[in-house]
């Protein structure tokens, strides 16, 4: 289920714009985007919801990293929803076995899409998520592959990754 | 040749001293404006060191400083922002004008000054310093606060109002009488509306004329255009400052962003010269007699600013602590008050006006940012909590809907 959240946009004349939203837990978080490209992550006070408790300046890289982490975990959540919605298509998390022939090999080498029609949409490693890995992505032991496809296709990919297919 | 050498020495020493002062001020979290004013008082007429050779140079630098202050202000806002803000915050702006301009005018009459001086003093007490306040909000980490848009919109309206007020004052001080002043006001209204409409409709095309890529061409283009328009505006008696402000508004998008970056150092230099020039033209010996009146005026108009911020924030459903933060933040007066007083000094309308304005701005610009910190202290917060929970105020039904 995708929950719609209302993000409020407030212009700050001469400075930039502020976006904020109230979470279901009742906290308010916001982002102040300055016109010169600077952006601050702001957290609001519980006692005085008009004032911000902390204002954290983020560099371009930091903002991108944060957006990636949030976006990837969000995507996994949405995929879980997709599994229920589109019949016949499912999402599976496949752990790469330690003895897999693809450990330290490229994702492209699996030829997963050609052979099974399955898309690898993300790889989880050490609690971090790598969204939409390209063919140059190199697997490591204990990676968890998030794949979308038919039952048959996903089973095929599981077999390929385990090295059972050939 | 000899005069030029002395000029170099005087201007060089002056700027160097200002640089050191500014650095010292930053260490104490002080805006450089009061320091520049004090430096101006220390030099020149009746001061410690007379600046004879460079006075004319400083005077020209000062008028460029005013123009740069205003074009930068215009660059900060887009025309769309100004108009959109006007719709939303017009009542707050009206309240602000009423609460803060009237005490200034009343004070002038109380001092037995003429109506021209009253008009000038009304402007001095009306306009908060957007530069100082934006800096304070940033320093205190309040840019994300929910009352901050209220503060900013009051400032925007004040700045926009200057586009009408300055031509009126310029004309009145030129001695054309109230009718001539109103005529200038009419011209200003038509011009400003025309510029806003053109800027909203054709802003992109105007900005396309000046390429944002070539830094040098951009600097010369924008600076030249600003000086030219300001000069023409002055010639038409609409005040050079307003011409510059309108140029800033008409330029938008990436050109505005780059122009802001290019002109900032120039603005810092010439604005410093402007503040010094204003201090120079004030004789320190005139200051002591006006100190007490200035203090009284400052206390009254700082309280009216608190009331302005309080009510403006209440309108949009901000709670009591936020309302007080908005009010206290609005207190400092600065560059604009000096610009207005500068117009009056040039016309010689009231000799005591310049020292009064200097003392007034010094008091508000130093104490304002310090007082703006008050709501962050724990004792202040608990005081507010106790005050709110104590007696249920009579106007409760009005605020209960929040």
Mean pLDDT of A87-96: 78
| Helices B240-250 and B215-235, axial angle in degrees (round to 10) | 140
Is A134 buried (19+), middle (13-18) or exposed (0-12) by CB count in 10 A? exposed
Is B55 buried (19+), middle (13-18) or exposed (0-12) by CB count in 10 A? middle
Contact B148 A12 (CB under 8 A): yes
pLDDT value, residue B46: 65
pLDDT value, residue B397: 46
pLDDT value, residue B294: 94
Residues B140 and B372 sit within 8 Å (Cβ to Cβ): yes
Contact B81 A11 (CB under 8 A): yes
Q: Chain A within 8 Å of B252 (Cβ-Cβ)? A: no
- Tell me the residues of chain B between 380 and 399 that have a Cβ less than 8 Å away from chain A: 381
pLDDT value, residue A117: 83
Residues B232 and B221 sit within 8 Å (Cβ to Cβ): no
**What is the nearest CA distance from B324 to chain A, expressed in angstroms?**
11
pLDDT value, residue B401: 40
Closest to B153 (Cα-Cα) out of B376, B308, B377: B308
State how far the Cα of A95 lies from the Cα of A141, in Å rounded to an integer: 9
Q: Chain B within 8 Å of A39 (Cβ-Cβ)? A: no
Minimum Cα–Cα distance from B249: chain A residue: A14
Minimum Cα–Cα distance from A52: chain B residue: B145
Residues B343 and B238 sit within 8 Å (Cβ to Cβ): no
Contact A55 B85 (CB under 8 A): no
Pick from A48, A52, A56 the residue to mutate for testing the B interface (most B CBs within 10 Å): A48
Q: Is the pLDDT of residue A77 over 70?
A: no
Residues A165 and A157 sit within 8 Å (Cβ to Cβ): no
Local structure of B303: helix, strand or coil: helix
Report ipTM for this prediction.
Answer: 0.73
**What is the nearest CA distance from B329 to chain A, expressed in angstroms?**
14
**What is the nearest CA distance from A64 to chain B, expressed in angstroms?**
20
Measure the CA dihedral B317/B319/B325/B329, to 10°: 10
State how far the Cα of B265 lies from the Cα of B287, in Å rounded to an integer: 32
Residues B169 and B180 sit within 8 Å (Cβ to Cβ): no
State how far the Cα of A33 lies from the Cα of A38, in Å rounded to an integer: 6
Q: Strands A52-58 and A128-131: what pairing? A: unpaired
Chain B CB contacts of A12 under 8 Å are 143, 148-149, 152
Paired strand residues for A22: A28
Size of interface A-B (CB pairs under 8 A): 74
Sign of CA dihedral B355, B361, B366, B368: positive
Give the distance from CA B317 to its chain's centroid: 28
Q: Is B172 left (phi over 0), alpha (psi -120 to 50) or beta?
A: alpha
Of B77, B143, B318, the CB nearest to A13: B77
Residues B54 and B276 sit within 8 Å (Cβ to Cβ): no
Give the tokens for residue B307: 């009331």
Chain B CB contacts of A49 under 8 Å are 146, 319
Minimum Cα–Cα distance from A10: chain B residue: B149
Give the distance from CA B320 to its chain's centroid: 27
- Tell me the residues of chain A between 53 and 92 that have a Cβ less than 8 Å away from chain B: 54-55
pLDDT band at residue A81 under the 50/70/90 scheme = low
Sequence-distant (6+) residues with CB within 8 A of A165 are: A115, A156, A159
Chain B CB contacts of A44 under 8 Å are 144, 146
**What is the nearest CA distance from A31 to chain B, expressed in angstroms?**
8
Paired strand residues for A147: A92, A120
Closest to B108 (Cα-Cα) out of B347, B279, B367, B360: B360
Which residues of chain B fall short of a pLDDT of 70?
A: 1-2, 45-48, 211-212, 390-402
pLDDT band at residue A5 under the 50/70/90 scheme = confident
A28-70 pLDDT, tens digit each: 899 999 887 889 999 998 888 888 888 899 988 898 888 888 8
| Helices B320-329 and B287-315, axial angle in degrees (round to 10) | 150
Residue owning tokens 């019949």: A87
Mean pLDDT of A3-21: 83
Per DSSP, A100 falls in state -
Nearest-5° Cα angle at B319, B316 to B322: 90
pLDDT value, residue A1: 41
State how far the Cα of A33 lies from the Cα of B350, in Å rounded to an integer: 46
A111-165 pLDDT, tens digit each: 888 888 888 888 888 777 888 888 888 888 888 888 888 888 888 888 888 887 6
Chain A CB contacts of B84 under 8 Å are 11
pLDDT value, residue B27: 84
Per DSSP, A50 falls in state T
Q: Chain A within 8 Å of B322 (Cβ-Cβ)? A: yes
């Amino acid at each position: 289920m995708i929950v719609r959240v209302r993000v409020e946009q407030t212009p700050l004349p001469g400075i930039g714009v502020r976006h904020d939203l109230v979470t279901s837990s009742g906290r308010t978080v916001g982002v102040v985007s300055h016109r010169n490209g600077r952006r601050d992550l702001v957290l609001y006070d519980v006692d005085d919801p008009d004032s911000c408790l902390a204002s954290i300046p983020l560099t371009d890289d930091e903002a991108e990293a944060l957006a990636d982490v949030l976006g990837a975990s969000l995507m996994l959540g949405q995929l879980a929803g997709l599994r229920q919605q589109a019949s016949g298509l499912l999402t599976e998390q496949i752990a790469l076995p330690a003895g897999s022939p693809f450990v330290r090999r490229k994702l492209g080498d699996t030829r997963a899409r050609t052979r099974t029609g399955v898309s690898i949409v993300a790889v989880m490693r050490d609690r971090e998520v790598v969204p939409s890995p390209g063919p140059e992505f190199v697997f490591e032991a204990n990676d968890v592959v998030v794949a979308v496809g038919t039952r048959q296709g996903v089973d095929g990919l599981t077999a390929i990754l385990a090295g059972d297919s050939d | 040749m000899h005069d030029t050498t002395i000029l170099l020495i005087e201007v060089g020493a002056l700027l160097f001293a200002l640089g050191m002062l500014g650095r010292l001020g930053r260490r104490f979290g002080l805006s450089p404006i009061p320091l520049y004013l004090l430096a101006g008082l220390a030099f020149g007429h009746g001061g410690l060191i007379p600046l004879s050779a460079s006075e004319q140079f400083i005077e020209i630098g000062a008028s460029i400083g005013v123009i740069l202050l205003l074009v930068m202000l215009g660059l900060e806002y887009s025309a769309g922002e100004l108009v959109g803000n006007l719709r939303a915050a017009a009542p707050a702006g009206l309240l602000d004008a009423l609460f803060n301009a009237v005490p200034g005018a009343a004070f002038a009459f109380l001092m037995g000054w003429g109506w021209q001086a009253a008009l000038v003093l009304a402007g001095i007490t009306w306009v908060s310093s957007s530069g100082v306040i934006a800096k304070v909000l940033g320093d205190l980490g309040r840019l994300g606060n929910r009352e901050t848009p209220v503060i900013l919109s009051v400032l925007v309206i004040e700045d926009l109002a200057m586009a009408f007020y300055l031509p009126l004052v310029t004309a009145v001080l030129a001695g054309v009488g109230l009718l001539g002043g109103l005529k200038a006001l009419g011209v200003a209204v038509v011009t400003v509306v025309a510029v806003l409409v053109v800027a909203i409709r054709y802003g992109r095309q105007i900005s396309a004329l000046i390429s944002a890529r070539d830094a040098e061409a951009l600097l010369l283009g924008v600076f030249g255009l600003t000086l030219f328009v300001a000069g023409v505006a002055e010639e038409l008696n609409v005040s050079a400052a307003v011409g510059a402000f309108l140029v800033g508004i008409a330029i938008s998008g990436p050109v505005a962003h780059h122009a802001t970056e290019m002109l900032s150092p120039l603005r810092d230099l010439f604005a410093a010269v402007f503040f010094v020039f204003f201090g120079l033209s004030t004789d320190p010996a005139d200051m002591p007699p006006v100190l007490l009146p200035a203090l009284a005026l400052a206390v009254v108009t700082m309280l009216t600013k608190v009331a302005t911020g309080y009510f403006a924030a209440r309108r949009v459903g901000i709670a009591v602590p936020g309302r007080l933060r908005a009010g206290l933040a609005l207190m400092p007066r600065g560059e604009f008050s000096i610009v207005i007083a500068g117009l009056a000094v040039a016309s010689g309308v009231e000799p005591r006006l310049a020292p009064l304005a200097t003392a007034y701005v010094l008091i508000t610009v130093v104490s304002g940012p310090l007082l703006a910190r008050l709501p962050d202290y724990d004792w202040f917060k608990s005081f507010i909590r106790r005050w709110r929970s104590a007696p249920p105020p009579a106007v409760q039904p009005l605020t209960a809907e929040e």
